[in-house]
Structure 1
Amino acid sequence: MTRDGRPRRLPSADYAAGPKLQACAALLTTAVAAWGVTHVMAALPNGGGEAAWPLAAILLWWLPLSWCERPIRARRDDQARLDALRVTVQIPVYNEDPEALRACLRSVLAQSRPVTRVRVVDDGSDLPYDDVRTEFEQEAAARGIETTWDRTPNRGKRHAQMHALAGDDGDVFVTLDSDSVLDRHAVREGLAPFADLRVQSVAGQVLVLNRADGVLARLSPLLYLPFTLGLRSATSALRQVRLNSGALAFYRAGVVRRCAGAYGSERFRGRPMQMNDDSLLTLHALLAGRTVHQPSAMVFTLAPARLSHHVRQQVRWMRGTAVRHLWWLRYLPLTGAAFWTAVAELLHLLLVVAVPVALVAGPDHRAHLGAAAVATGQAALAMNYAMALRLFTVRRSDESTRARLVLFALAPLAALWRLLVLRPLLAYAVLTCHRVGRWGTRAGVEVGLAARN
């Protein structure tokens, strides 16, 4: 609600990248990546070695390929089958800001393609949601949408999800975070790829809802880009996405039903594994068929506005991904692109560590260290701007062109944050990946929607 008691206006967005823009951007990104790699390697001892720069170029495969992704459209003769799908949206709730939860639920009920039912599970929150629940159930009844609202003891997100979906007869399950707001056409767009019977899961595109809540929230779209519209878009072009976002993802119900037992009881080093739930569901979907990203199925989510929250969120994600890499290397077939993209990520991390070590430990390192640092900085700047071009593929109702240009100009600041903050955090997260928990970052309300007009 706004200050005067009116319902908050929900944001909307559309995917604006046409084929010509994509082709030009892909060529530009390829040129920038090639220049950056050769520029850095030329500054290393002996030109970086004969094999070093081709290896580095290969590890940036995802930069140009991300521009090959396009929204997946269903053929007209498939539409009737898509319209007949029973869609269940599952929303786990734990100490969520009531205003954010209210906006989340309103966005689900306001979809241009109505859902069949919405299942909310309050996982033992410390907050009362009586008013939110009453408004939600009344509006859902008026629209003819089935609802359930259960409260359970606090056992973690996965248990909340499976509590809701056990016995559900839906054809497609939608997992939606309680701090996220759907674009009006998100469900319609997210269902389109299921016209291909080989597709088992669809990842939505994640946008930041609270961009005005300080420097960290404003930088978050840039910090998320390499994953949301970088690696995820590139692997989607191969039809082998390895990691959906918990904020919004679509799954064929059979995938979730088959993995329900393993999903709720996963353990790592003897401890129950609750983090990285989205990547485990994606893994099961990938083993069953194709997994894609639909850039036109958009969701707005709340990003951390405080440093402590941001650090804890990043460490949780990084720990989960570190564990999941072990699963990918163990279970993905060697003949699939997904296995080799996971290997490429590991090689990229090793290269990031190996180059500085080689510079410092190698003979006559002082003569090369300064030149390599300058070259790396120049290449990182160019490649971050190339990646930031993806910002212009989305038009938002709550963002002006000027605001997008300002955000684009901040790309170097995001690059510096990754280098000085996120890289050290990644090392810490990998070394402590055995520390797995339930919700991880939410002992209380961490970020909410201010009552602005």
Structure 2
Amino acid sequence: MRAEHVPEELPRARCVRPGVVAALAAVCLSGFFAWGAVHLVVLVRHGFGADTGLGLVWIVCFALLWWVPLAWLERPLRATPEQAADLDRLVVTVQVPVYNEDPRVLEMCLRSVLEQSRRVDRVRVVDDGSADPGTGAPVDYADIRDRFLERASAAGVEATWDRTPNRGKRYAQMHVLAADDADVFVTLDSDSVMDRHAVREGLAPFADPRVQSVAGHVVVLNRDANVLTRMTGLLYLPFTRGLRSAQSVLRRVTINSGTLAFYRAHLVRDRAGVYEKETFLGRPMQMNDDSMLTFYALLEGDTVHQPSSLVFTLVPERAGHYFGQQLRWMRGTTVRHLWWLRYMPVRGVVFWGTVLEYVHLFLGYAIPLMILAHPGLRSQAGEIALAALVIGAAVGYLISLRIFTIVRSDETVFQRFLLFLLAPMATVWRLLLLRPLYLYAMLTCGRVAQWGTRDRVEVALPAGAAGR
């Protein structure tokens, strides 16, 4: 389970020209609304019944995909020259929690922090009691620590490296952030590598005082490792550049990926002693830290996504690791849904977005049962299934156009096009594998005791892949 295709040099990425994005958006919007219009005409002409092939249901499903066209309205948020000068005066602290991380991944991660075009002021690394799973002996990161501290000093960046008893990611974060007086906190996972301009771009939205948190744009680092990692890159798109982008247009992003996120520092400091002690059904909840911090931001203002603040992250290369990760995320999201439904305004975007998500999930199971129970529809089951497959593939392609909005230093246009062709496979993957897993996660969300962090390195870089 080694990422044999991760480059030695730090990867770079950039957003394509606005004109290209506008052209892709025009294709997406035209196709999406044409599909809706066709089914609306069928419904108006024939009404709901066996003759329409579930026309009403298609229209409802179309409405539930409201985020597909809205996502294309998202643009990178920019600051005026005067605002940029104010942003340059902000004190920025990057916090990197570490637990049983592959040394080469960790070194690339820390190197990317120190090579930012907008220099950060502080870097706080906390080793959360990394230990060998076989012997229990502490993992020795001394060489990486010493090189990092030396490089930080040479760059004029204040840096610390602490080791604490293993208590979980939230405790590792609050160990240093609770007393840090920075203006902005940046949370960065230790298996992730920032693009050179990630911090500069991630700070730009804070020119608006209403913005409380900013989500970075996550892309797959080890996408060439195998079919699963390539598929994961596609599967990320509906969330990272679909639903999250649409939420950002409405300034109501609900989950900042812990991979890379920016927060007004007081949001975190003010919750010290509470954030790290969250419980669910009386049990400690250490996972889903990113959505909890985003929840705090939602309570105080706007939350947005910055598509030009890019971060590369390692993703699972084995099926067991992948489905285990998905199960933890889904359980965590289920718990957070309960928070949103309880605490978010009933007339707000977050509340109704959550309700619509469950309506969509319900229809995914109700529609097949409706077809089987209705004699007229049952006779058209094959035709309906084919229509659903065509529509699913079309929507998958519309969403996957986002592949062409990012130019990566480690990827050619031809490679992007081949990945785009696989979009229908991602749709089938979600339908047959992730949808049932989500239902299981919802029914077992009380198993928070099983949400511990990894006890060994899950994805590693090959020898010699760490940058110098």
Q: TM-score range by the shorter chain?
A: over 0.9
The whole-number CA distance in structure 1 between the counterparts of 2:153 and 2:9 is 21
What secondary structure is seen at the aligned counterpart in 1 of 2:324?
helix
Residue 344 in 1 paired to residue 344 in 2? no
Distance 1:117 1:34, change over 3 A: same
Runs of 4+ aligned structure 1 residues displaced above 6 Å come to: 40-44
CA distance in 1, matches of 2:244, 2:49: 31
1:93 aligns with 2:98: yes
Moved more, 68-77 or 440-449: 440-449
- For 2:108, the equivalent position in structure 1 comes to 103
- Cα distance per residue 1:396-433 (max 9 Å; x no partner): 01111111111111112212211221111111111111
Determine the structure 2 residue equivalent to 1:57: 62
Match of 1:382 among 374, 377, 394: 394
- How far 1:376 moved relative to its partner? 0.6
Cross-structure match for 2:441: 429
Partner of 2:241: 229
Q: How does 1:134-283 map to 2 (within 5 A)?
A: 134-283=146-295
2:285 maps to amino acid: M
Aligned-partner Cα distance in 2 for 1:362–1:275:
43
CA distance in 2: counterparts of 1:403 and 1:397, whole angstroms: 12
Paired AA for residue 13 in structure 1: A
Deviation at 1:446? 0.5
**Which residue does 1:284 correspond to in 2?**
296
Moved more, 239-248 or 260-269: 260-269
Cα distance in 2 between the residues matched to 1:352 and 1:31: 25
In structure 1, the partner of 2:15 is 15
Q: How does 1:107-122 map to 2 (within 5 A)?
A: 107-122=112-127
Alpha-carbon shift at residue 47 of structure 1 (Å): 2.8
- C-alpha RMSD over aligned residues: 2.0
Q: Deviations over 1:247-286 (max 9, x none)?
A: 0000001111222333111111111111111011101101
Task: Kindly provide the amino acid, as one letter, of the partner of residue 115 in structure 1.
Answer: V
Please point out which of 82, 93, 111 is paired with 1:77: 82
Asked whether the equivalents of residues 176 and 248 of structure 1 are also in contact (C-alpha less than 8 Å), the reply is yes
Tell me, in whole angstroms, the C-alpha distance in 2 between the residues paired with 1:83 and 1:263.
29
TM-score (norm 2): 0.91
- CA distances 1:26-64 after superposition (whole Å, capped 9, x unpaired): 343234334556669979735366753442222111101
Q: 1:307 to 1:438 in 2, by over 3 A?
A: same
Match of 2:371 in 1: 359
Call closer, same or farther: CA 1:34–1:368 in 2, change over 3 Å.
Answer: farther
> Structure 1: which amino acid aligns with 2:52?
G
1:331 equivalent in structure 2: 343
Moved more, 34-43 or 408-417: 34-43
Alignment of 1:300-311 (within 5 A): 300-311=312-323
Structure 1 residue 360 displacement after superposition: 2.1
Residue type of the alignment partner of 2:125:
V
Whole-angstrom distance in 1 between the partners of 2:205 and 2:347? 24
Are the structure 2 counterparts of residues 413 and 194 from structure 1 closer, same or farther at C-alpha, using a change threshold of 3 Å?
A: same
Compute the displacement of 1:80 (Å): 1.6
Contact kept in structure 2, 1:274 and 1:438, CA below 8 Å: no
CA deviations over 1:368-413 (Å, ceiling 9, x no partner):
2211111110001111111110000100011111111111111122
Amino acid at match of 1:99: R
Give the AA of the match of 2:200.
Answer: R
Provide structure 2 residue ranges, at least 5 long, that are not aligned to the other structure: 1-6, 132-138
Amino acid of the structure 2 residue aligned with 1:319: R
Q: Give the 3-state SS of the residue equivalent to 1:118 in structure 2.
A: strand
Equivalent position of 2:428 in the other structure: 416
Maintained 8 Å contact 1:157/1:438: no
| In 2: Cα distance, 1:39 partner to 1:419 partner | 22
- Asked if 1 retains the 8 angstrom alpha-carbon contact of 2:168 and 2:453, the reply is no
Q: CA deviation at 1:146?
A: 0.8
The answer for the alignment partner of 2:403 in structure 1 is 391
Matched, 1:297 2:309: yes
Partners in 2 of 1:346 and 1:436 — Cα distance? 21
How far apart in 1 are the matches of 2:49 and 2:444? 32
> Is residue 2:130 matched to residue 1:125?
yes
Cα pair 2:328 2:451 within 8 Å, conserved: no
**Secondary structure in 1 matching 2:219:** strand
Work out the CA distance in 1 between the residues paired with 2:452 and 2:307.
Answer: 28
More deviation in 103-112 or 410-419?
410-419
Secondary structure of 1:261 counterpart: coil
Q: Are 1:68 and 2:68 matched, yes or no?
A: no
What is the distance in 2 between the residues matched to 1:225 and 1:437? 30
CA contact (8 A) 2:97 2:189 kept: yes
Give 1:451 shift. 3.1
Alignment length (residue pairs): 446
CA drift at 1:192: 0.4
Gaps of 5+ in 1: 1-6
Q: How much does 1:337 deviate?
A: 2.0
Q: Residue by residue, what CA displacement relative to the aligned partner does 1:157-194 show, whole Å, maximum 9, x if unpaired?
A: 11111112110011000000000000000000000000
Aligned equivalents of 1:359, 1:261: Cα separation in 2:
52
